[in-house]
Amino acid sequence: MSFVLCLLCILLVPFAAAGLTLMHQGLGRSRSAAHTMVSTLCVLAVTSLAFVIVGFSLAGVNGGATHLIGHGSTAWDWAGAEPLFARGVRFDGSTGGLLLCFQMFAAGLAAIIPLSTGSDRWRLAPACASTGLLAAITFPLFAHWVWNGGWLSHLGLNFGLGAGFLDAGGSGTIQVIGGFTALSIAWILGPRRGKFHEDGMAAAIPGHNIVLVLFGCLLALVGWIALNSAAAMLFYGAGIVLVPKILLNTVLAASASCLATVLTTRLRYGKPDASLIANGWVAGLVAGSAGCVFLSPAAAIATGAVAGAGVMYLVELLELKLHIDDPGGAISVHAGAGLWGLLAAGFFSSISSLPRSGQIMAQIVGIAALLGFMLPLIHGLNLLINRFATQRVDADGDRQGMDVRELGAGAYPEFVVHGDEFLPR
């Protein structure tokens, strides 16, 4: 592994966070734009502190100290046991420092995903508390299982299931964890005022700046290539020669997904839908991450195309059937496409000499762990926060917008006049 190249990739990972933030801001309403940006900065700050102080201890490092549960001849490695405050990390050119920095950024990326779902109604303080738990408990736990020598990564070694659970770029570890947190937040907060009429019909509340959204997509691409490359090098020993393949697969998955969304929205609505196309682009990036180093270019295209075609239907299902108000489509894009990406890595990965059925089973067990252990844990922790500090803004805040309610001033004070335009008169 090239230390310098890996460090360079890690330095570029924040571009993915910047891209997602611009998307969240643009897809939200103008009266909460400044609040979204401030929340993002605070969430990133909380993530950095919580992960370095506590999270890295749980995440651990491959071959380091761990908590084990014994079963027969195979021990289940379920959590890291590194010292708090990352005291065990040596900054001497070994991979320890890189692992710490990469996972800190990865946790930050997972933590900003729910901000999109909570847009226009999620108070800043509970958002920071929820983020603290994500960065200190849920993300590090799953990161240990998958990336740092935990039980999911050893499914192949211990139980003969392919090469163990594969998630090179973090489709599950970053995106599904963030997406499930977003789902939990959506359940707890409920919809925005005026989103659903009394007859159950959903009102379209369009984003306020689609140019920012689409620029965010381009920015996210740079960060995603770096994210996938760094993760593949750090956790799967990918050499420098595989970086062009990772780059190609990442771009192909996003491209196929984007075009699939253009096509499906064109067929369904008569014209391509800009915000859904942006979601399709990111869904491709998300789905392609899990197998970025294991897939052939053709498989990356297939993975992206399915993600792009599916994201529109998932957005509709959540909004129209399940009454979940997700302004930025984060649940569909990150949880939905992330789960598909994990499955696709099992179906399409090209690891020679290992039976494909075992690999598919390893991926399914990983998905079962995400649904069965991580989602209840995430939802339980967020309900606990809600018990002590109500996560949703009060009725006044609902009416005024989050900028005025929590920050005292709007993002665009000279240009925008707000009204309750989505409420029946």
Partner 1 sequence: MKLIGMLLLVFGGVIAVTAIALLRQPVQQYCFVFAGIALEFLGLTLVARDYAQTQRNAG
Q: How far is the CB of 169 from partner 1 (least distance, A)?
A: 23
| Closest to partner 1 by CB, 2 or 74 | 74
SS (H, E, C) the chain: CCHHHHHHHHHHCHHHHHHHHHHHHHHCCHHHHHHHHHHHHHHHHHHHHHHHHHHHHHHCCCCCCEEEEEECCEEEEEEECCCHHHCCCCCCCCHHHHHHHHHHHHHHHHHHHHHHHCCCCECHHHHHHHHHHHHHHHHHHHHHHHCCCCCCCCHHHHHCCCCCCCCCCCHHHHHHHHHHHHHHHHHHHCCCCCCECCCCCECCCCCCCHHHHHHHHHHHHHHHHHHHHHHHHHHHCCCHHHHHHHHHHHHHHHHHHHHHHHHHHHHHHCCCCHHHHHHHHHHHHHHHHCCCCCCCHHHHHHHHHHHHHHHHHHHHHHHHHCCCCCCCCHHHHHHHHHHHHHHHHHHHCCCCCCCHHHHHHHHHHHHHHHHHHHHHHHHHHHHHHHHHCCCECCHHHHHHCHHHHHHCCCCCCCCCCCCCCCCCC
| Closest to partner 1 by CB, 114 or 223 | 114
| Closest to partner 1 by CB, 150 or 223 | 150
Which has the closest alpha carbon to 124: 199, 190, 39, 45? Answer: 39
Q: How far is the CB of 349 from partner 1 (least distance, A)?
A: 18
| Closest to partner 1 by CB, 170 or 358 | 358
| Closest to partner 1 by CB, 379 or 418 | 379
| Closest to partner 1 by CB, 161 or 287 | 161
Contact status, residue 344 vs residue 366, Cβ threshold 8 Å: no
Q: How far is the CB of 151 from partner 1 (least distance, A)?
A: 8
| Closest to partner 1 by CB, 36 or 391 | 391
| Closest to partner 1 by CB, 189 or 232 | 189
What residue ranges bind partner 1 (CB under 8 A)?
71, 74, 76, 155, 159, 161, 187, 190-191, 196, 198, 200, 321-324, 357, 361, 364-365, 367-369, 371-373, 375-376, 379
Q: How far is the CB of 107 from partner 1 (least distance, A)?
A: 23
| Closest to partner 1 by CB, 157 or 211 | 157
| Closest to partner 1 by CB, 193 or 418 | 193
| Phi–psi pair at 176, nearest 5 degrees | -70, -40
Q: How far is the CB of 173 from partner 1 (least distance, A)?
A: 17
Q: How far is the CB of 159 from partner 1 (least distance, A)?
A: 5
Task: Return d(Cα 344, Cα 308) in angstroms, integer.
Answer: 14
Q: How far is the CB of 392 from partner 1 (least distance, A)?
A: 13
360: burial class by Cβ within 10 Å (0-12, 13-18, 19+)?
Answer: middle
- Calculate the CA dihedral of residues 276, 277, 282, 288 and round it to 10 degrees: 120
Q: How far is the CB of 28 from partner 1 (least distance, A)?
A: 20
Q: How far is the CB of 424 from partner 1 (least distance, A)?
A: 12
| Phi–psi pair at 132, nearest 5 degrees | -60, -40
Which has the closest alpha carbon to 172: 61, 60, 289? Answer: 289
| Closest to partner 1 by CB, 167 or 273 | 167
Q: How far is the CB of 336 from partner 1 (least distance, A)?
A: 12
Q: How far is the CB of 323 from partner 1 (least distance, A)?
A: 4
